[in-house]
């Protein structure tokens, strides 16, 4: 039976990845510090035999890898990723894609396993090239509020290609664009959880700025499918994985208010520093190299979110606060 390790396995994307690998007949181990991951995301996977290890990949490799055995595939999905987290734990975010990722690369090197690094569209910063193509080097403020995440992921990419060049490790790099779906933390502060949690509590939606900035939203099952296809490919260099269907923040707000029947409308807050004005992946490389493109429509994806965030709220009788920036 092939064996996979998913770091950040209790997180939003990581836990869906664990489910998909179990579906494919893998023996799966998830490691997570639970700083932002949630053990309940792995309940169904654990019932199907997934092994969960609570540990921080930033700790020395020997401390947590001793009894895990040998892996064929290592996925590094570990990192806080919400702009709200950037203000709370910037140093932890930086070290996780540096020390933590290095530990996983060492493990892959020792075990001759393939390793995939979950990078991000944030490596493009506030992009001056649109849509973003993998050959674009980006426009990142190295000392801004988002820099802990952007530069950590840029360093993580550099470390990944260095392990490939110096030691011949079989590496993969996925540049993940905005992703949404069940198991997002309802108080994570990102647009989809914030808008649903606010709308379902009849509150006005917190639109930053005029809401003209754009994002392109990929449903989590599509994303996971792309990640696994990339792991199985022979592509060493970064591949954008995301949905090119671009929407303004205002369009998302109106869609959520209409879907939930929320009459409380909107409240505009200041646009956060360095908030990218536009974001849309060019997925030509993913289409040609992986034969992958997203399938789930925004309408269907948002409907699934409605069910999910409703159930999160019904499990929280005191309500949930959607944290806003600023």
Catalytic residues: 149
The yes or no reply on residue 208 touching ligand UDP (CB under 6 A) is yes
Based on CB atoms, which residue is closest to ligand UDP, 3 or 153?
153
C-alpha–C-alpha distance, residues 1 and 201, integer Å? 46
Based on CB atoms, which residue is closest to ligand UDP, 51 or 190?
190
The yes or no reply on residue 207 touching ligand UDP (CB under 6 A) is yes
Task: Give me the 104-123 binding string for ligand UDP, x by CB under 6 A, dash otherwise.
Answer: --------------------
* Least separation in angstroms between CB 153 and ligand UDP: 12
* Least separation in angstroms between CB 82 and ligand UDP: 6
β-pair partners for 5:
29, 74
Phi first, then psi: give them for residue 80, nearest 5 degrees. -60, 145
Binds ligand UDP (CB under 6 A): choice among 33, 65, 178, 260: 178
Binds ligand UDP (CB under 6 A): choice among 41, 79, 179, 194: 194
Q: Largest Cα–Cα distance of the chain, in whole Å?
A: 58
> Rg (Cα) of the chain, in Å, rounded?
19
The yes or no reply on residue 183 touching ligand UDP (CB under 6 A) is no
Q: Does a cis peptide bond (omega within 30 degrees of 0) precede residue 131?
A: yes
SS3 call for 37: coil
Choices 69-77, 100-108, 152-160, 187-195 (CB under 6 A): range interacting with ligand UDP: 187-195
| CB 21, CB 5: distance < 8 Å | no
Binds ligand UDP (CB under 6 A): choice among 83, 181, 238, 242: 83
Based on CB atoms, which residue is closest to ligand UDP, 107 or 302?
302
Binds ligand UDP (CB under 6 A): choice among 51, 215, 229, 280: 215
C-alpha–C-alpha distance, residues 117 and 246, integer Å? 25
For residue 85, give Cα distances in angstroms to 65, 74, 136, 145, 262: 27, 25, 26, 10, 27
* Least separation in angstroms between CB 212 and ligand UDP: 9
Residues 272-311 that bind ligand UDP (CB under 6 A): 272, 275
**DSSP class per residue in 112-150:** T-EEEEEEEGGGGBS-SSSSB-TT---B--TTSTTHHHH
- The residue assigned the tokens 């075990």 is 111
Residues 233-262 that bind ligand UDP (CB under 6 A): 249
How many residues make contact with ligand UDP (CB under 6 A)?
A: 14
C-alpha–C-alpha distance, residues 141 and 132, integer Å? 17
Nearest to 218 by CA among 290, 126, 291, 302: 302
Choices 151-159, 205-213, 230-238, 288-296 (CB under 6 A): range interacting with ligand UDP: 205-213
The yes or no reply on residue 187 touching ligand UDP (CB under 6 A) is no
* Least separation in angstroms between CB 125 and ligand UDP: 11
| CB 164, CB 236: distance < 8 Å | yes
Burial class (CB in 10 A: 0-12, 13-18, 19+), 132: buried
Choices 93-101, 130-138, 203-211, 297-305 (CB under 6 A): range interacting with ligand UDP: 203-211
* Least separation in angstroms between CB 10 and ligand UDP: 20
* Least separation in angstroms between CB 281 and ligand UDP: 12
- Would you tell me which residues interact with ligand UDP (CB under 6 A)? 83, 178, 190-191, 194, 206-208, 213, 215, 249, 272, 275, 324
């Amino acid at each position: 039976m092939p064996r996979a390790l998913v770091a950040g396995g209790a997180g939003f994307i990581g836990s869906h990845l664990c489910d998909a690998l179990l579906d494919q007949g893998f023996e799966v181990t998830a490691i997570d510090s639970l700083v932002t991951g949630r053990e309940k995301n792995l309940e169904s996977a654990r019932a199907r035999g997934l092994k969960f290890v609570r540990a921080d990949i930033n700790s020395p490799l020997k401390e947590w890898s001793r009894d895990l055995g040998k892996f064929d595939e290592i996925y590094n999905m570990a990192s806080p990723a919400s702009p709200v987290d950037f203000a709370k734990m910037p140093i932890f975010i930086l070290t996780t894609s540096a020390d933590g990722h290095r530990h996983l690369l060492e493990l892959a090197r020792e075990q001759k396993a393939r390793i995939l690094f979950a990078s991000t569209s944030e490596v493009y910063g506030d992009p001056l090239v649109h849509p973003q193509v993998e050959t674009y080097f980006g426009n990142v403020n190295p000392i801004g509020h988002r820099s802990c995440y952007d530069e950590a992921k840029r360093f993580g990419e550099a470390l990944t290609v260095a392990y490939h060049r110096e030691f011949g490790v079989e590496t993969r790099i996925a540049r993940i664009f905005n992703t949404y779906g069940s198991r997002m933390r309802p108080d994570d502060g990102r647009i989809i959880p914030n808008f649903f949690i606010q709308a379902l509590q009849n509150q006005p939606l917190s639109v930053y700025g005029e809401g003209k900035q754009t994002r392109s939203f990929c449903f989590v099952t599509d994303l996971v499918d792309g990640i696994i296809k990339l792991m199985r490919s022979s592509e060493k260099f970064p591949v954008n994985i995301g949905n090119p269907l671009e929407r303004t923040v205002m369009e998302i707000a109106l869609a959520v208010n209409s879907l939930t029947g929320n009459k409380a409308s909107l409240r505009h807050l200041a646009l956060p520093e360095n908030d990218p004005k536009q974001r849309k992946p060019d997925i030509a490389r993913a289409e040609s190299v992986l034969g992958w493109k997203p399938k789930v429509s925004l309408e269907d994806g948002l409907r699934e979110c409605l069910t999910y965030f409703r159930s999160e709220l019904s499990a929280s009788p005191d309500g949930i606060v959607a944290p806003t920036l600023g």
